[in-house]
Amino acid sequence: MTTHSSSIAEDPRVQQAFSYLVETDETTLRTQIELSEIAAPPFHEGKRGLRLARLFHAAGLVDVRSDEAGNVIADRPGASDERALVVSAHLDTVFPEGTDVSVTREGDLLRGPGISDDARGLACMMAVVRALQDSGLRTARPLLFVGTVGEEGMGDLRGVKELFRSGGDGEGASGFISLDGAGLDRIVVHGLGSRRYRITVQGPGGHSWVDWGTANPLHALNRVGGRLTALPLSKEPRATLTLARTGGGTSINAIPQEAWLEVDTRCSESSHLDSLQEQIRSVVDEEVGREPGLRARIEVVGDRPGGETPEEEPLVQAALEATRGRGRMPQLALSSTDANVPMALGIPALTLGCGGDAGLAHTTDEWYRNVNGPDGTIRALHTILLYAGITPAA
């Protein structure tokens, strides 16, 4: 028998776990600082991952391991054979190798690149693990704790993609919670999808006077760009198309041999991204085809699937109840996070902030202020317990 209800918050072991999170708030902050000070540039999360694996191990989680993408994974077995709940935070930052990632602290104010996004999520995940271990609470569902790689930018969600691929450690999970950054009110249940392209056009090139009339990659790409910006876009759900970067050519007095254009498309619904992809392909084919001698190549340089978790899902209900339990007004929100991938696969998924305030994310001036910090860790734990269920006290 397991308890799946509001009575969970009244269970003395749960009360103990909540108190533990308040009492160990300083430990949580120290973990946040420690992990933030281990550089984790895109595609180089290994060192921070190793430290997280040690923390998982020291806390008593079992089968600590990493997968092919570099995700760090650990189990906390449940009392039932129900499908697992995945709880995660991302290891990577947007900051390149060589960035000074030291953290400075004045009281509750911490400054350092990545201190909130996502050192806060990692520290919150560890706080939740320690509180569970300290209270001896046993959940009905097994819990899978994961530090993911590749959440940011060109990482293109490769960590969660590996986790949820067929045969991946998250396959068959019943739900997914990503702990990401600060805040107490937002619950991300809409996953903004994006697909990004690099269009490269090549031609013979030549002298801009002597060879004028030779097929010109830049002329073709400019026609392509003009037509793409005129494509009709869905308003509901909102879809966007942005010409983001362009370049090419060798000299002011030369017909380019090569030119390129990068295009970013976004929408919460994959079918709209699919349709934009087809339109982009046909525009490129037509415009490049007008000048014999040109070759075009379209690379998909980013693909984040969109999706959503319906409000009626028990996981969302759990997060709403846990947020209200902190005396807050929950807001269902749209963002692009690790939760996108399970959402797109139909697995209930959401992303929660972990308390405190933060700002200037993705800059080296990023800061985190620990106001209501424990409310963030308690909200995360409460959401997990409501969804995973707990076994009665022995």
**Measured from the CB atom, is 179 or 378 closer to Zn ion?**
179
* Closest distance to Zn ion from the beta carbon of 114 (Å): 9
d(CA 53, CA 96): 23
* Closest distance to Zn ion from the beta carbon of 180 (Å): 4
- Strand partners of residue 113: none
**Measured from the CB atom, is 150 or 325 closer to Zn ion?**
150
Q: Which of residues 198-257 bind Zn ion (CB under 5 A)?
A: none
* Closest distance to Zn ion from the beta carbon of 112 (Å): 15
Q: Is 118 in the site for Zn ion (CB under 5 A)?
A: yes
**Measured from the CB atom, is 148 or 323 closer to Zn ion?**
148
* Closest distance to Zn ion from the beta carbon of 223 (Å): 38
Cβ-in-10-Å burial (0-12, 13-18, 19+) of 289 comes to: exposed
Q: Mark 171-190 with x for binding to Zn ion (rule: CB under 5 A) and - for no binding.
A: ---------x----------
* Closest distance to Zn ion from the beta carbon of 188 (Å): 11
**Measured from the CB atom, is 122 or 284 closer to Zn ion?**
122
- Strand partners of residue 247: 260
**Measured from the CB atom, is 117 or 287 closer to Zn ion?**
117
Q: Is 375 in the site for Zn ion (CB under 5 A)?
A: no
Nearest CA to 308 out of 368, 258, 350 is that of 350
* Closest distance to Zn ion from the beta carbon of 228 (Å): 30
List, as one string, the DSSP characters of 227-295.
HHHTS---TTTT-EEEEEEEEE-S-TTEE-SEEEEEEEEEESSHHHHHHHHHHHHHHHHHHHHTSTT-E
**C-alpha R_g of the chain:** 24
d(CA 382, CA 321): 9
Q: Is 117 in the site for Zn ion (CB under 5 A)?
A: yes
**Measured from the CB atom, is 116 or 265 closer to Zn ion?**
116
If DSSP codes are grouped into helix, strand and coil, which group holds residue 79? Answer: coil
Assess whether the previous peptide bond of 156 is cis (omega < 30° from 0).
no
* Closest distance to Zn ion from the beta carbon of 361 (Å): 8
CB 319 within 8 Å of CB 176: no
If DSSP codes are grouped into helix, strand and coil, which group holds residue 58? Answer: helix
**Measured from the CB atom, is 119 or 129 closer to Zn ion?**
119
d(CA 136, CA 133): 5
Residues engaged in binding Zn ion (CB under 5 A):
117-118, 180
